[in-house]
A = this chain, B = another copy of it.
Amino acid sequence: MDISIILYLIYKLPEQSKLALQNNVSEIAFQKGHILLKANKIESNIYFIKKGLVRAFIERDNEVTFWFGKEGETVISMKSYVEEQPGYESIELLEDCELYELKTENLKKLFSEDVHIANWGRKFAEKELIKTEERLISKQFKNASERYLELMKDHPELLQRIQLGHIASYLGITQVSLSRIRGELK
């Protein structure tokens, strides 16, 4: 997915602002397994996924996957980006990826200079917020089985591309529980 489309899907920018933003973006590729962002570190870049698939995970006693990103999505350590503090998540590439890279330092400069880009940044945060809020509510209302069906309905392609251990973790259950749920659905 081209960068101009990715930016547009967040918020339509006037031509000049769009170019100003795109001029700060460079292309880069990494292989499956690469760790793109590291936990407990202030990250200085954000990425847009041109092609491929990644996951965000947090490690404590166990490891929990809490986000998947595919083509068109933004890879970001939110805590680094918002508070300039070490983030809690690492990002691992689940497939070979082509990415667009943007230095947050440059982005923040553009935010202060260009009202359209500031509103683009606002829309980005707002849309991410809606998605996160919907997941929180889903978790509050639905049991594991219902959340699995919801994922199948909303993102069926992820089930083809991601191994079930990660899916289970994302759903907030163990892999064994997910297998049981899948078994019961047959």
Binding site for B on A (CB under 8 A): 58, 60, 64, 66, 78-79, 81-83, 88, 111-115, 118-119, 121-123, 125-130, 132-133, 135-137, 139-141, 172
Q: Looking at the complex, which one of B83, B112, B128, B140 makes contact with A119 (CB distance below 8 Å)?
A: B112
Taking the closest CB of chain B, its distance from the CB of A105, in whole angstroms, is 16
Residues in chain B near residue A83, CB distance under 8 A: 130
A88 to B140, CA, bound (A): 14
Number of chain copies forming the complex:
2
Residues of chain B lying within 8 A (CB to CB) of residue A126: 78, 81-82, 125
Which one of A125, A137, A141 has the greatest number of beta carbons of chain B within 10 Å? A125
A contact face: mostly helix, strand, loop, or mixed: helix
Apart from the given pairs A64-B140, A88-B137, 13 other A-B contacts in the complex at a CB distance below 8 Å:
A66-B136, A78-B130, A81-B126, A82-B123, A82-B126, A82-B127, A83-B130, A113-B115, A119-B122, A125-B125, A125-B126, A135-B136, A140-B172
Q: Give the distance to chain B from A123, nearest Cβ to Cβ, in Å.
A: 8
